[in-house]
Amino acid sequence: MNKPAFCLIFLFFNTLVSAQRITSPDLKILQKKEDSLKVLSLKIIQGRTAGDRFLADSEFTKIFVRALKVKNSFHYSFDSLLTISRLSPPDSSFKIFTWQMVINDNVVRQHGAIQMRTADGSLKLFPLIDKSDVTNKMADTIGNNFGWMGAVYYKLIQTQAGGKNYYTLLGYDENNIRSNKKIIEVLSFENDQPIFGGFYFNFSDNASLKQNPARLILEYKKNASPRLVYDDDQDIIIYEHLVSETEETQKKYTYIGDGDYEGLKWKDGKWVHIDKVFTQKLKEGDEPIPNPIRDANGDIDQSKLKNNGMVNDENDEDKPVKTETKTKTTPSKVKVKKKP
């Protein structure tokens, strides 16, 4: 590479890094605002009355927007806001912030915003307006940031199809006094505008679903805790199958996990359903059994003890005995992680 070309490349990257750097005065402003936001974010959750929580949420939103208006705030972590979910995809094209506010036992509202990364460090923000309480068919609804279905997101998965990026979100909704929800939905951008939901699911192997939903909603009993996780090693979404414990299938608040697991694998622009993640099971009679040390007459077979190397004394009957597996099976490689 000639010297002029090298110098041009160096100047380009140096300018890019400088443009994304938070200046010392701006850093102090952000740190001061974060101190205020930390206190308010806790009050949103811990406020004694609905009025206290409303006030804290309102003040938090105002100060948060002012903080985000600080140049290059995109590169500030806000990592002390423990009750605020902060996610960003591997391509660092945006950040999504979500949190919830409990109005009463039956009404929980989610708030949030998407902050886009900009070349000059200015603010480009999409507020997320929760419309789930006025939406009849959440599973079929596709909307922009003003028609958001609401969730506190805890995982973001970036995928591609046809040269376009898609961002799958795993979220939680403390729905009402009877049930909670976990949600899987795809975020995409059309004409630089966020779109939540879409026909990115393929449940063709599941006869119980009459159509492929715009988002997958798992609603379940309040004190149940079915798992919804993403396994990085297998590149698969895993979620626990739900059944009604009272066989009242229309009452979602009776649903609990049954210990079986379904999955979703990204393929050709869709999350393709896997009916059973764990498919290898032992047949009756093939389960592991001890290697008996007594013969049919009840006498100890000393050769087995010696062959296994478990004893030094032929008369020692109290040493531990190894066991062997009658039929060896290979466990699934899929790992189920604990609920975050």
237-250: pLDDT as tens digits:
999 999 999 999 99
Assess whether pLDDT exceeds 50 at residue 338: no
pLDDT exceeds 90 at position 38: yes
Tell me the pLDDT tens digit for each residue of 158-200. Answer: 999 999 999 999 999 999 999 999 999 999 999 999 999 999 9
Res. 289: pLDDT tops 80: no
Question: Rounded to the nearest 10 degrees, how much is the dihedral formed by the CA atoms of 284, 290, 291, 295?
Answer: -90
Residue 314, pLDDT above cutoff 90: no
pLDDT tops 80 at residue 12: no
Q: pLDDT higher for 279 or 218?
A: 218
User: Helix 50-68 to helix 24-46 angle, to the nearest 10 degrees?
Assistant: 160
**pLDDT band for position 10 (50/70/90)?**
very low
The pairs formed by 12-15 with CB atoms below 8 angstroms and a separation of 24 or more are none
What is the model's pLDDT at position 206?
67
pTM for the model: 0.77
pLDDT band, very low/low/confident/very high, at 294 (cuts 50, 70, 90)? low
Choose from 18-32, 278-292, 314-328 the range with maximum mean pLDDT: 18-32
d(CA 170, CA 190): 21
- At 14, the pLDDT band (50, 70, 90 cuts) reads very low
Environment class of residue 228 by beta-carbon count within 10 Å: exposed (0-12), middle (13-18) or buried (19+)?
Answer: buried
The size of the chain, in residues, is 340
> Looking at the predicted structure, is the pLDDT value of residue 144 above 90?
yes
Q: Is the pLDDT of residue 156 over 50?
A: yes
Rounded to whole angstroms, the Cα distance separating 218 from 240 reads: 9
d(CA 39, CA 46): 10
231 Cβ neighbours under 8 A, 6+ residues apart = 237, 238, 334, 335, 336, 337
The answer to whether 150 touches 130, Cβ cutoff 8 Å, is yes
Question: What pLDDT sits at residue 311?
Answer: 42
pLDDT at 212: 82
**Mean pLDDT over the full length of the chain:** 83
pLDDT at 167: 98
Q: Give residue 278's pLDDT band: very low, low, confident or very high (50, 70, 90).
A: confident
Specify the range with the lowest mean pLDDT, choosing from 30-34, 219-223, 325-329: 325-329
Instruction: Give the angle subtended at the CA of 71 by the CAs of 122 and 57, to the nearest 5°.
Output: 90
Q: What is the pLDDT of residue 105?
A: 84
- In single-letter form, the type of residue at position 92 comes to S
Q: What are 334's strand-pairing partners?
A: none
Residue 328: which pLDDT band, with cuts at 50, 70 and 90? Answer: very low
Q: Please, which pLDDT band fits residue 308 given cuts at 50, 70 and 90?
A: very low
Q: Given a cut of 70, is residue 1 above it in pLDDT?
A: no
Per DSSP, helices labelled H in the chain are 3-19, 24-46, 50-68, 302-308
| Tens digits of residue pLDDT in 71-122 | 999 999 999 999 999 999 999 999 999 999 999 988 999 999 999 999 999 9
Q: pLDDT value at position 208? A: 62
Q: Is the Cβ–Cβ distance between 274 and 265 less than 8 Å?
A: yes
Q: How confident is the model at residue 330 (pLDDT cuts 50, 70, 90)?
A: very low
pLDDT at position 204 is 83
DSSP character at residue 140? G
d(CA 101, CA 85) in angstroms, rounded, equals 13
